[in-house]
A and B are shown apart, each in its own frame.
Chain A
Amino acid sequence: MDIDANCEKFQVENLSVYYDDFRALNNITLPIKCNQITSIIGPSGCGKSTFLRAFNRMNDLIPHVSSEGRIIKDTQDICDIDIVALRKSVGMIFQRPNPFPKSIFENVAFGPKAHGVKAMVELEDIVEKSLRLSALWDEVKDRLDKSALSLSGGQQQRLCIARALAVNPDVLLMDEPASALDPIASLKIEDLMQDLKSQVTIIIVTHNMQQAARASDFTAFFNMDEDRAGYLVEHGETARIFTFPGEKLTENYISGRFG
């Protein structure tokens, strides 16, 4: 696959998100590069999760949320994309692994089934492909009919990644996907992200500076103003942000002096 270095998967333009009257995000403008890993860092409560949930319009599920500005995916405003199609192409991995209380197979097959795939052969094919992609196949191939809840936390998270991949997304949103995992399982997720880069654009929220530095190509640093509204301090290539941060605030944050 040829990767165009300047291709932009998303263009976030002047995005503000409100919970009732409370402004959680203030006027964010940020490009997200295709087939790259972009990490979102910033102190707790600065709106990282809110920002991430804007991309697949999960914020719409919360009553009293409103937003201004827009997010362009490829060439289309995401509000003009059918919600089912949008969520199919923009997968999401949550902070706590949330496999369904079903078998491993049923978990991965859930998405395709929801979108009308019925043939068993095809489903088996998708399940195997997705589990291989998420580096879980060898560990579970003999027990696909066992409950997903019998897997370890790290395996569950990779299962959730397989579940998201099964509907063939071109973007993965990850909200602190490794924060509930031990360091080894966490590293596995990072490796996996590198493997998946050729297929999907990844946006990851993380509190772990090493993880952001190690695993991402681009970094966006968010902070809160006096009204607790989140704003973008700066963004750029991860190597640059971590070695020559443009703002004193960024330097303080990544060196652990606040946040």
Chain B
Amino acid sequence: MSNQTESILAQAKNKRNLKRQNTVQVFGYILVWLCGIIAVAVVFWIIGYVLSQGLGVINLEFLTTKPAGGVSGEGGMSTTIVTTLYLVILTIVIATPLGVGAAIYLVEYAGDASRESKLVAFLVKAARTGVEILAGVPSIIFGLFGFALFVSYLKLGFSLLSASLSGAALILPTIIRTSEEALHTVPRSYREGSLSLGATKWHTVFNVVLPSAIPGIVTGIVLSVGRIIAETAIFWVTLGGSYYLPKTIMNSGRSMALHVYMLASETRAFDKAMGTASILIIIIILLNLSINILSRSLTARMIGNE
């Protein structure tokens, strides 16, 4: 009898507990949703504001004429689009081989090398820590470093080359880390399959591991492209700001982000700054969409159900 009551009581208590858990769940759910909505709303508000201010000045003429300089901010933005493109290409061309190479070393070779020598183990550890730290360093620090080393000491001046070298230093940690992750996700069974056929480690890395890691590596590169397009401070002190189109890599130039900054801070053409910013935002959005599509299609092609 008393046993029964006890069990009934216990059941009731269980139910109450369940109910309380449910309320907590629902509350948590709503909270998470709210946070999500607020975050998205803020982003849309900013983008909406910039576009509403900027889209008015955008037309074919704005896109295809050169900036005219001066405090009135006359002219369009054509040269800044091309300069941005140059900057992105040159930076990626410098940073990708270095970054991917470093990642390959860290993932595929550093382990064995570290076991063989204490010094190598220490250096590898230092390199890993260095990459971690560099990833968190503000871009202006890279800018100052680039200014001191490339612009002044190596006498490369304010130029595409100085800017790309500094930009490469800025994105290297990202490329190294995303490539490392991509290499880590390549199954060990691929490596074993290749090695068991008598393929050398080198052959295995370049013909099996690296191709399988390409989607991840490409994602890291595209992320870095976004970073180069968006950064301002670092290029302010390395690229200079000339609104002429650079003819060689030794010329100064002005990226779109830099153009926005200079229009906003040095001219009265706030609407043109917003116009340029709108183009910038649209490019960044397209870039992010392309990451999704690109990595999905690369992965699909690998799995073979394209």
The reply to whether A58 and B196 contact each other, CB–CB distance below 8 Å, is yes
Residues from 149 to 167 in A contacting B, C-beta threshold 8 Å: 149-150, 160, 163-164, 167
Specify the chain B residue showing the minimal Cβ separation from A146: B304
For the complex, is A253 an interface residue (Cβ under 8 Å from B)? no
Contact of B197 among A85, A101, A111 (CB under 8 A): A111
For the complex, is B200 an interface residue (Cβ under 8 Å from A)? yes
- Least CB distance, B191 to chain A, in whole angstroms: 8
| Residues in A neighbouring B115, C-beta threshold 8 A | 63
- Least CB distance, A249 to chain B, in whole angstroms: 32
Map CB proximity to B onto A77-97 as digits: 1 under 8 Å, 0 otherwise. 000000111111001101010
- Least CB distance, B60 to chain A, in whole angstroms: 44
Map CB proximity to A onto B262-306 as digits: 1 under 8 Å, 0 otherwise. 000000000000000000000000000000000000000011110
The reply to whether B195 and A58 contact each other, CB–CB distance below 8 Å, is yes
Residues from 110 to 131 in B contacting A, C-beta threshold 8 Å: 111-112, 115
Specify the chain A residue showing the minimal Cβ separation from B306: A147
- Least CB distance, B111 to chain A, in whole angstroms: 7
- Least CB distance, A216 to chain B, in whole angstroms: 21
| Residues in B neighbouring A96, C-beta threshold 8 A | 189
- Least CB distance, A105 to chain B, in whole angstroms: 12
| Residues in B neighbouring A85, C-beta threshold 8 A | 198
| Residues in B neighbouring A132, C-beta threshold 8 A | none
The reply to whether A58 and B192 contact each other, CB–CB distance below 8 Å, is yes
For the complex, is A61 an interface residue (Cβ under 8 Å from B)? yes
For the complex, is A56 an interface residue (Cβ under 8 Å from B)? yes
| Residues in A neighbouring B197, C-beta threshold 8 A | 87-88, 91, 110-111, 114, 163-164, 167
The reply to whether B302 and A147 contact each other, CB–CB distance below 8 Å, is yes
Complex CA gap A56/B196 in Å reads: 7
Specify the chain A residue showing the minimal Cβ separation from B111: A63
Specify the chain B residue showing the minimal Cβ separation from A90: B196
The reply to whether A110 and B207 contact each other, CB–CB distance below 8 Å, is yes
- Least CB distance, A96 to chain B, in whole angstroms: 6
Complex CA gap A147/B299 in Å reads: 12
Chain B interface bracket (under 10, 10 to 19, 20 to 34, 35 or more): 20 to 34
For the complex, is B187 an interface residue (Cβ under 8 Å from A)? yes
Specify the chain A residue showing the minimal Cβ separation from B186: A101
| Residues in A neighbouring B200, C-beta threshold 8 A | 84, 114
The reply to whether A150 and B304 contact each other, CB–CB distance below 8 Å, is yes
| Residues in B neighbouring A94, C-beta threshold 8 A | 189, 192-193, 196
Complex CA gap A88/B212 in Å reads: 23
Map CB proximity to B onto A219-234 as digits: 1 under 8 Å, 0 otherwise. 0000000000000000
The reply to whether A91 and B196 contact each other, CB–CB distance below 8 Å, is yes
For the complex, is B208 an interface residue (Cβ under 8 Å from A)? yes
Contact of B198 among A61, A98, A99, A115 (CB under 8 A): A115
Known contacts A98-B190, A101-B212, A114-B203, A87 near B196 by CB under 8 Å = yes
- Most chain A C-beta atoms within 10 Å of own C-beta, residue among B111, B115, B208: B208
Complex CA gap A3/B305 in Å reads: 45
| Residues in B neighbouring A114, C-beta threshold 8 A | 194, 197-200, 203, 207
Complex CA gap A88/B197 in Å reads: 6
- Least CB distance, A140 to chain B, in whole angstroms: 13
Known contacts A98-B192, A110-B207, A149 near B198 by CB under 8 Å = no
The reply to whether B190 and A167 contact each other, CB–CB distance below 8 Å, is no
- Most chain B C-beta atoms within 10 Å of own C-beta, residue among A83, A88, A91, A100: A100
| Residues in A neighbouring B189, C-beta threshold 8 A | 94, 96, 98
| Residues in B neighbouring A164, C-beta threshold 8 A | 196-197
Contact of B194 among A56, A100, A115 (CB under 8 A): A100
Specify the chain B residue showing the minimal Cβ separation from A101: B302
Specify the chain A residue showing the minimal Cβ separation from B201: A61
Map CB proximity to B onto A160-186 as digits: 1 under 8 Å, 0 otherwise. 100110010000000000000000000
Complex CA gap A167/B196 in Å reads: 11
| Residues in A neighbouring B203, C-beta threshold 8 A | 114
- Least CB distance, A143 to chain B, in whole angstroms: 10
For the complex, is A148 an interface residue (Cβ under 8 Å from B)? yes
The reply to whether B198 and A88 contact each other, CB–CB distance below 8 Å, is yes
| Residues in B neighbouring A115, C-beta threshold 8 A | 198
Complex CA gap A160/B187 in Å reads: 16
Contact of B208 among A63, A83, A100, A150 (CB under 8 A): A100
Residues from 31 to 66 in A contacting B, C-beta threshold 8 Å: 56, 58, 61, 63
Residues from 162 to 209 in B contacting A, C-beta threshold 8 Å: 187, 189-190, 192-200, 203, 207-208
Complex CA gap A147/B196 in Å reads: 21
Residues of A that sit less than 8 Å from B by CB:
56, 58, 61, 63, 83-88, 91-92, 94, 96, 98-103, 110-111, 114-115, 146-150, 160, 163-164, 167
Provide a sorted-by-A list of 12 A–B residue pairs whose CB atoms are within 8 angstroms: A63-B111, A63-B112, A85-B198, A94-B189, A98-B190, A100-B208, A101-B302, A101-B304, A102-B211, A110-B208, A164-B196, A167-B198
